[in-house]
Amino acid sequence: MSEPGMPDGVGLLFPGQGSQFVGMGRDLAEAFPLARQRFEEADEALGFSLSRLCWEGPDDELTLTRNAQPALLVHSVVAWDLLCAEQEPPVALAAGHSLGEFSAYVVAGSLSFADAVRTVRRRGELMFASGQARPGTMMAVLGLDDAAVEQACAAASVEGSVVVPANYNAPGQLVISGDRDAVARAAELLKAAGAKRVLPLNVSGAFHSPLMQVAEAGLREHLAGVELHAPRFPVVSNVTAEPVTDAETARRLLVEQLTSPVRWVASVQRMAGSGASRFLELGPGNVLSGLARRIVKDAPARALGTAEQLSTFLAESAV
């Protein structure tokens, strides 16, 4: 429920790494000239054909952190632009999962499209380099509460080897991240504690953990040279699960996000309590709209990432 006196509106959700797939956005570019124009702008900003990589692959190249991050941002922004070309929804707040937070700041008017594409490309390079400098890994944990996962991570972090909760995705669904030996120890403790499943993730580093500290200086330096504006509507930070309304707070938290957990459950709950009566996921896939329905029971949530999904939504809205 929203806070008393809070006008109801839409909560925008923007997916992060892992939602990319070969062919992403191609149907949008084929159906809408505006979408093709945006992909061309991204190609120009990066100096190579990101659009071809999105539409034709190969998958192992698209999945690389430095490529997946701009690909996801472009797809999300394209979906938003197409939606607004017909009718801009009454937005209460926005939030993005990890990389998706940059997409949120683009649609909120804080970051220019070209700057954002280049920034997340750089972010991906820095995160990959950080993973090379201090190799780590991540695992998804299903079927345990937050406290049990936090306790296992604390117990498994010994002798300078660290594992921490990285993503609080949904009740009973967390991701842990850290040094490989610590993650392996935590996995055994979590199984013994009754976890339904503990699944390794195919990642190039221990994202959202102290192991990403190497990337912080580089991203801070890059963002110092990028113009940011106050968002037109609040963007809920992954780090604090609180709305951000000014540019300098956004700049600081986008750096801190590298080594902080994604507090997605708390973020979606904050959105629901601050005026978001329904959720729209903009970009590839439907992971976040599914999580929103789990976090806020029976919340109206739908994904808008394909030409068919957008056309159907706009047709329904016009009735």
pLDDT at 109 over 90: yes
pLDDT at 192 over 70: yes
For residue 105 the two structure tokens come to: 């700041």
State the Cα–Cα distance between residues 214 and 220, nearest whole angstrom.
11
User: In residues, how long is the chain?
Assistant: 319
312 CB contacts (<8 Å, ≥6 apart)? none
Measured in degrees and rounded to the nearest 5, phi and psi for residue 205 equal -175, 180
pLDDT class for 4, splitting at 50, 70, 90? very low
State the Cα–Cα distance between residues 239 and 208, nearest whole angstrom.
10
- Segment 218-241 mean pLDDT: 98
Distances (CA, A) of 29 to 36, 39, 82, 187, 284: 4, 8, 11, 43, 14
Contact of 265 with 169, CB cutoff 8 Å: yes
Instruction: Please identify which of the residues 208, 209, 274, 277 carries the catalytic annotation.
Output: 208
pLDDT class for 6, splitting at 50, 70, 90? very low
- Among 59-63, 84-88, 255-259, the minimum mean pLDDT is found in 84-88
pLDDT at 207 over 50: yes
State the Cα–Cα distance between residues 131 and 7, nearest whole angstrom.
43
State the Cα–Cα distance between residues 281 and 302, nearest whole angstrom.
6
Instruction: Please identify which of the residues 19, 51, 76, 98 carries the catalytic annotation.
Output: 98
Crossing angle of helices 33-46 and 65-86, in 10° steps, is 150
pLDDT class for 317, splitting at 50, 70, 90? confident
pLDDT at 134 over 90: yes
Q: Is residue 2 annotated as a catalytic residue, yes or no? A: no
- Segment 279-284 mean pLDDT: 98
pLDDT at 185 over 60: yes
Looking at residue 298, its pLDDT comes to 82
- Segment 171-189 mean pLDDT: 98
pLDDT digits 0-9 by tens, 53-82: 999 999 999 999 999 999 999 999 999 999
What percent of the chain stands above pLDDT 70?
97
pLDDT class for 319, splitting at 50, 70, 90? low
Helix (H) or strand (E) holding 134: none
**Maximum Cα–Cα distance across the chain:** 63
Q: What residue segments make up the domains of the chain, in order of their start? A: 9-131+211-318, 136-204
Phi-psi region of 298 (alpha: psi -120 to 50; beta: other; left: phi over 0): left
- Segment 130-150 mean pLDDT: 97
Distances (CA, A) of 164 to 137, 147, 183: 11, 12, 9
For residue 302 the two structure tokens come to: 């739908």
Looking at residue 1, its pLDDT comes to 39
Higher pLDDT, 3 or 30: 30
Where do we find the tokens 């124009």?
Answer: 37
- Segment 221-245 mean pLDDT: 98
Helix (H) or strand (E) holding 6: none
**For residue 58, cis peptide bond before it (omega within 30 degrees of 0):** yes
State the Cα–Cα distance between residues 47 and 210, nearest whole angstrom.
32
Helix (H) or strand (E) holding 314: helix 307-318
pLDDT at 3 over 70: no
Is 9-131+211-318 assigned to CATH 1.10.10.60? Answer: no
pLDDT at 7 over 60: no
Looking at residue 287, its pLDDT comes to 97
Contact of 214 with 129, CB cutoff 8 Å: yes
State the Cα–Cα distance between residues 93 and 11, nearest whole angstrom.
5
Contact of 164 with 209, CB cutoff 8 Å: yes
pLDDT class for 242, splitting at 50, 70, 90? very high
> DSSP of 70-98, one letter per residue?
HHHHHHHHHHHHHHHHH----EEEEEEST
Pick the CATH number of 136-204 from 3.20.20.10, 3.40.50.150, 3.20.20.70, 3.30.70.250: 3.30.70.250
Average pLDDT, the chain: 95
Q: Is residue 229 annotated as a catalytic residue, yes or no? A: no
pLDDT at 11 over 60: yes
State the Cα–Cα distance between residues 39 and 216, nearest whole angstrom.
28
